[in-house]
C-alpha cells in the first residue's frame, strides 16, 4: 500500500510542477466516490488536470468527453459543465489558470 501512496504522491508533485510552469495555480488532489455526479458547475478560468486513476466523464452543452487513467483534460474558461465518474470512482489532480490583472 505504501508504494501506491508514494506513486500517487510522486505523480502529483511532478504534475504540480508542470502546472506551475504552464501558468496554473498549485494543484488539488481529489478522490471522487463511485457513481458520483457533481451537478452543474461553472468555471471562469481554464482548468487543466490529470486523471490519476478511474474514469472521468465531463459533460458540457456541446459534448460529452471521457478520460481514463493517465490522461490529461482541459476545461476552457467560462464553461458550464458536469463531472461524473464510473463504478470504481476516480482520483484526479487539477488546477485553475492563474488570474492576472491587466492594467490600462
Residue in this structure with the C-alpha cell 504540480, named with its chain if needed: 16
Domain ranges of the chain: 2-96
Q: Where are the beta strands (DSSP E) in 3-102?
A: 28-32, 41-43, 47-59, 64-67, 71-75, 79-96
Tens-place pLDDT, residues 42-53: 999 999 999 999
Closest CA to 15 of 29, 32, 31: 29
Tens-place pLDDT, residues 60-99: 999 999 999 999 999 999 999 999 999 999 999 999 999 7
Question: Which fold would CATH assign to domain 2-96?
Answer: Jelly Rolls (2.60.120)
* pTM across the whole model: 0.83
Amino acid at each position: 500500500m505504501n508504494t501506491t501512496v508514494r506513486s500517487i504522491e510522486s505523480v502529483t508533485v511532478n504534475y504540480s510542477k508542470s502546472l506551475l510552469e504552464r501558468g496554473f495555480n498549485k494543484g488539488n488532489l481529489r478522490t471522487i466516490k463511485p457513481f458520483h455526479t457533481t451537478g452543474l458547475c461553472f468555471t471562469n478560468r481554464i482548468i487543466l488536470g490529470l486523471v490519476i486513476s478511474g474514469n472521468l466523464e465531463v459533460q458540457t452543452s456541446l459534448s460529452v468527453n471521457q478520460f481514463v487513467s493517465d490522461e490529461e483534460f482541459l476545461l476552457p474558461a467560462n464553461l458550464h459543465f458536469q463531472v461524473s465518474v464510473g463504478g470504481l470512482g476516480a482520483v484526479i489532480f487539477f488546477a485553475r489558470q492563474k488570474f492576472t490583472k491587466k492594467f490600462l
